[in-house]
Amino acid sequence: MASSSSSAPWKQLLLNALDANAKLQHSSFFQLATIASNGRPSNRTVVFRGFQEGSNKIQINTDCRTRKIEEIKHYPFGEICWYFTDSWEQFRINGRIDIIDGSNSDPVMLQQREKAWFASSLKSRLQYLGPSPGVSCASEEPFKKYSLDPSSGPVDTFCLLIFDPEQVDYLNLKRHERLMFTSKRNADGFECWMLEKINP
Amino acid sequence: MASSSSSAPWKQLLLNALDANAKLQHSSFFQLATIASNGRPSNRTVVFRGFQEGSNKIQINTDCRTRKIEEIKHYPFGEICWYFTDSWEQFRINGRIDIIDGSNSDPVMLQQREKAWFASSLKSRLQYLGPSPGVSCASEEPFKKYSLDPSSGPVDTFCLLIFDPEQVDYLNLKRHERLMFTSKRNADGFECWMLEKINP
């Protein structure tokens, strides 16, 4: 079965799962696997920041100083594993990741980064002013209180990741059903999704 | 700070987290990232089946016919990401994975595999008799009802994974604290864990 609509056929399943699990704060958290510079898998929890407007691409905010940025620059592919604890659904989403930082040359991308910055809470934004994540704590360093003007734009450490899905492996444990969605480009260059029912 | 006790210093933190989140069935689920044969990251939810007796190694049951077996045979390293939704703690556990299937030549390992088989529910065991996971559904195939003698040992498709942690990155979001535990062998060949406090 093939589908070539602009909205991918798995997207509605994901929106339904988000809706069915909305009362749980953690339903917007998923695990993003990438490949570390030593070649080993790397895996961490990140927060879903919505779809890029009018597309199937998934947005994630992150700090430019985290190890995942270095990893994605080296190898720009990842797999999201998103398990919904209430509806017993799992989405394994494999795709390519783009990094949008303040040095991006595309004004549309910079605008999206700015939009993502203002869409996050002031508390979240303050984290980007803190000490470098993953670096040894300088315990001598006095406790600093950071402040930020709510109207000021993204700081240099703020980074938007745009995850472009190429394959989605959907598992529904309640219905004992598994679907594999695979993206293909057709002759006209349009994205087209193939759907196959596979054994759970 | 170094510790060389046989029980790793992060293990108690993990046992505490399991205890604090015990009322949630999904607290025993975590995401295991490996590397697919095409070099891309691969990520899925699996179930924690306890520690190997007297060790820090984590047990996972799986079907020999799943893609992860092929992946681990090709590259035996993985990263677990285990997020506890109630206590807001995350464990990122990087390590080496051993596959224990029915062809293993070590009788002690075969015994552990058998123990894992009998420790899982009859319903879980029945899954190993079903059609090959991840393969296209033969919709023509008539619905089969499988049955299994509760006293019979592991079937050929049952596989025990033993995950040996080498590094544990612990994050506590409530206390805004992050600890990095790294395993080293000391001069006597004993495993020794180094602990460093890092920025969240």
- pLDDT, residue B198, reads 97
The burial class, CB within 10 Å (0-12 / 13-18 / 19+), for A160 is: buried
Residues 19-78, chain A, touching B (beta carbon < 8 A)? 24, 26, 29, 31-35, 39-45, 77-78
Residue in chain B lying closest to A89 (CA): B45
Predicted confidence at residue B1, as pLDDT, reads: 52
CA distance A169 to B117: 27
Residue A77, pLDDT > 70, answer yes
Q: Copy the structure tokens of residue B16.
A: 């505490």
- Residue of B22, B186, B136 whose CA lies nearest to A182: B136
Average pLDDT estimate for A18-37:
97
For domain B2-131+151-198, give the fold: Pnp Oxidase; Chain A (2.30.110)
Calculate mean pLDDT across residues A70-95: 98
Q: What is the pLDDT of residue B4?
A: 45
pLDDT for residue B186 is more than 90: no
Q: Residue B87: helix, strand or coil by DSSP? A: coil
ipTM of this complex prediction, to 2 decimal places:
0.95
Q: What is the distance in angstroms between the Cα of A107 and the nearest Cα belonging to chain B?
A: 30
Question: Which residue of A81, A178, A197 is in closest CB contact with B43?
Answer: A81
Average confidence (pLDDT) over B136-161: 88
Q: Is the model's pLDDT at A114 over the cut of 80? A: yes
How high is the pLDDT of residue A62? 98
Which tens digits make up the pLDDT trace of A145-168?
A: 899 999 999 999 999 999 999 999
Q: Which of B35, B90, B136 sits opposite A198 (nearest CB)?
A: B136
CATH topology of domain A2-129+153-198: Pnp Oxidase; Chain A (2.30.110)
State mean pLDDT over B56-60.
Answer: 98
Contact indicator for A92, A80 with CB cutoff of 8 Å: yes
Closest by CA position to A56, among listed A11, A97, A94, A18: A11
pLDDT tier at A142, thresholds 50, 70, 90: low
Tell me which residue in A40, A135, A178 faces B94 most closely, judged by beta carbons. A40
Q: B57 pLDDT exceeds 70?
A: yes
What is the structure's pLDDT at B187? 87
State the CB neighbour count (10 A cutoff) for residue A109.
Answer: 16
Domain spans in chain A, listed from the N-terminal domain onward: 2-129+153-198
